[in-house]
Amino acid sequence: MVKIAYLCVFIAGLLPLLAVSVAKWKFPNYDNNNPRAWESKLTGHRARANAAQMNSFEAFPFFAASVILAMLAGVESQTLDTLSVIFVLARVAYILCYIKDWATARSLCWTVGYGCVVAIFVLGLNT
């Protein structure tokens, strides 16, 4: 049986690519020889998309570790799957809100995603 939580870890690992593709899409003068210098010159929605990429990389290890530990602890699959899906949906919404410059909504999405990870850890500790 395929675990939805495993699939969510895979998707969460790909989310930074979604965000950075917005930053790079049809942007002139992309410098693959020195991408960090190029990124530092981004402005507007492209800069926010790049920031969303970096935050997505930061959020991923905490989420992946929580899922692995919860599975090792024997957390009920349906609960883990539900929290994992909510995490991924919150992170997709987070990226959208970041790009659109909806700061309050972005913070809410971040909080929901972070809350899911904390809940997964707590379930693992209590199992």
Q: Which domain holds residue 118?
A: 4-126
| pLDDT value of residue 2 | 56
| Helix 44-73 × helix 4-24 angle, to 10° | 170
* SS3 label, residue 20: helix
Q: What is the CATH number of the domain that holds 112?
A: 1.20.120.550
**C-alpha to C-alpha distance for 37 and 22, rounded to whole angstroms:** 17
The CB-side HSE value for 87 (13 A sphere, CA atoms) comes to: 33
Name the domain count of the chain. 1
| pLDDT value of residue 69 | 96
Per-residue pLDDT averaged across 96-112, rounded? Answer: 98
Work out the pLDDT band at 79, boundaries 50, 70, 90. Answer: very high
Q: Which two tokens stand for residue 20?
A: 């950075």
The reported pTM is 0.92
pLDDT digit string, tens, across residues 15-72: 999 999 998 887 777 777 888 888 888 899 999 999 999 999 999 999 999 999 999 9
Residues in the chain: 127
